[in-house]
Structure 1
Amino acid sequence: MSDYLLEMKGIVKEFSGVKALDGIDLKVHPGEVVGLCGENGAGKSTMMKVLSAVYPYGTWDGEILWEGKPLQAASIRETEDAGIVIIHQELMLVPELSVAENIFLGREITNGGFLDYEAMNAEAARLMAELKMSHVNVAMPVSHYSGGVLQLIEIAKALGKNAKLLILDEPSSALSQTETEILLDLIRGLKHRNVACVYISHKLEEIEAIADTVTVIRDGQFIGSAPMSELTIDKIINMMVGRELTEKYPHEEHTIGDVIFEVRHINCYDPLNPQMKKVDDVSFQVRAGEILGIAGLVGAGRTEMASAIFGYYKGPHSLEVYLNGEQISVKDPEAAVKHGICMVPEDRKRHGIVPLLGVGQNITMAVLPRFTQGGLINEAAEFATIRGEIDRMGIKTASPVLAIASLSGGNQQKAVVSKMLLANPRVLILDEPTRGVDVGAKYEIYKLIYELAKQGIAIIMISSEMPEVLGISDRVLVIGEGQLRGDFVNDGTLTQEKILTAALTRRQMAA
Structure 2
Amino acid sequence: MSGYLLEMKGIAKHFGGVAALDGIDLAIRPGECIGLCGENGAGKSTLMKVLSAVYPHGSWDGEILLDGQPLRARSVRETEEAGIIIIHQELMLVPELSVAENIFLGNEITLPGGRLDYPAMNRRAEEILRELKLPDVNVVLPVKNYGGGHQQLIEIGKALNKKARLLILDEPSASLTAAEIEVLLAIVRDLKAKGVACVYISHKLEEVAAVCDTITVIRDGKHIATTPMHDMNVERIIAQMVGREMNQMYPSLPHEVGDVIMEARHISCYDVDQPQRKRVDDVSFKLRRGEILGIAGLVGAGRTELVSALFGAYPGEHEGEVWLEGRKVDTSTPLKAIGEGFAMVPEDRKHHGIVRDLSVGQNITLSVLERFSRLTRVDDGAESVAINEQIKRLALKTASPALPITALSGGNQQKAVLAKMLLTGPKVLILDEPTRGVDVGAKFEIYKLMLELAAQGISIIMVSSELAEVLGVSDRVLVMGEGQLRGEFENKGLTQEMVLAAAIGQTGRQGS
- Partner Cα distance (1:96, 1:317) in 2: 28
What is the correspondence of 1:396-411 to structure 2 with a 5 Å cutoff? 396-411=397-412
Of 247-256 and 262-271, more deviation after overlay is shown by 262-271
Aligned to 1:31: 31
Of 165-174 and 43-52, more deviation after overlay is shown by 165-174
- Partner Cα distance (2:499, 2:139) in 1: 32
505 and 128 in structure 1: CA distance in 2 versus 1, 3 angstrom threshold? farther
Tell me by how many angstroms 1:294 deviates.
1.1
- Is structure 2 residue 154 aligned with structure 1 residue 153? yes
Aligned to 2:392: 391
- Partner Cα distance (2:270, 2:123) in 1: 30
162 and 354 in structure 1: CA distance in 2 versus 1, 3 angstrom threshold? same
Aligned to 1:132: 133
269 and 442 in structure 1: CA distance in 2 versus 1, 3 angstrom threshold? same
Aligned to 2:348: 347
Counterpart residue identity of residue 56, structure 1: P
339 and 102 in structure 1: CA distance in 2 versus 1, 3 angstrom threshold? farther
- Is structure 2 residue 167 aligned with structure 1 residue 166? yes
- Partner Cα distance (2:157, 2:305) in 1: 26
What secondary structure, in the 3-state scheme, does the structure 2 residue paired with 1:95 have? coil
- Partner Cα distance (2:325, 2:157) in 1: 48
Aligned to 2:271: 270
Counterpart residue identity of residue 435, structure 1: R
- Which residues of structure 2 form unaligned runs of 5+? none
Aligned to 1:300: 301
Aligned to 2:358: 357
Q: RMSD in angstroms over aligned alpha carbons?
A: 1.9
Number of equivalences: 507
Counterpart residue identity of residue 163, structure 1: A
Counterpart residue identity of residue 22, structure 1: D
Matched-pair contact (CA < 8 Å) for 2:64–2:70: yes
- Partner Cα distance (2:81, 2:276) in 1: 45
Of 352-361 and 314-323, more deviation after overlay is shown by 314-323
Tell me by how many angstroms 1:26 deviates.
0.5
Matched-pair contact (CA < 8 Å) for 2:365–2:387: yes
Counterpart residue identity of residue 262, structure 1: E
Aligned to 1:60: 60
- Which residues of structure 1 form unaligned runs of 5+? none
268 and 356 in structure 1: CA distance in 2 versus 1, 3 angstrom threshold? same
Matched-pair contact (CA < 8 Å) for 1:483–1:507: no
Aligned to 2:214: 213
The alignment-based identity, stated in percent, is: 64
- Partner Cα distance (1:507, 1:77) in 2: 55
Aligned to 1:78: 78
Matched-pair contact (CA < 8 Å) for 2:143–2:151: yes
Matched-pair contact (CA < 8 Å) for 1:434–1:442: yes
What secondary structure, in the 3-state scheme, does the structure 1 residue paired with 2:468 have? helix
Tell me by how many angstroms 1:301 deviates.
2.2
What secondary structure, in the 3-state scheme, does the structure 1 residue paired with 2:443 have? helix
- Partner Cα distance (1:332, 1:137) in 2: 37
Of 407-416 and 158-167, more deviation after overlay is shown by 158-167
Tell me by how many angstroms 1:114 deviates.
4.2
What secondary structure, in the 3-state scheme, does the structure 2 residue paired with 1:477 have? strand
Aligned to 1:494: 494
Per-residue CA deviations over 1:399-453 (Å, capped at 9, x if unaligned) read 1111010111111111111001001111111111111111111111000000111
Tell me by how many angstroms 1:118 deviates.
4.3
Matched-pair contact (CA < 8 Å) for 2:322–2:329: yes
Matched-pair contact (CA < 8 Å) for 2:501–2:507: no
Tell me by how many angstroms 1:264 deviates.
2.5
Of 148-157 and 39-48, more deviation after overlay is shown by 148-157
423 and 99 in structure 1: CA distance in 2 versus 1, 3 angstrom threshold? farther
Tell me by how many angstroms 1:74 deviates.
0.9
Tell me by how many angstroms 1:265 deviates.
2.6
Aligned to 2:193: 192
104 and 309 in structure 1: CA distance in 2 versus 1, 3 angstrom threshold? farther
What is the correspondence of 1:370-381 to structure 2 with a 5 Å cutoff? 370-381=371-382
- Partner Cα distance (1:116, 1:324) in 2: 64
Counterpart residue identity of residue 63, structure 2: E
- Partner Cα distance (1:69, 1:409) in 2: 34
Per-residue CA deviations over 1:360-417 (Å, capped at 9, x if unaligned) read 0011101100000112100000011111111111111111111010111111111111
What secondary structure, in the 3-state scheme, does the structure 1 residue paired with 2:321 have? strand
Counterpart residue identity of residue 347, structure 1: D
TM-score (norm 2): 0.95
Counterpart residue identity of residue 245, structure 1: M
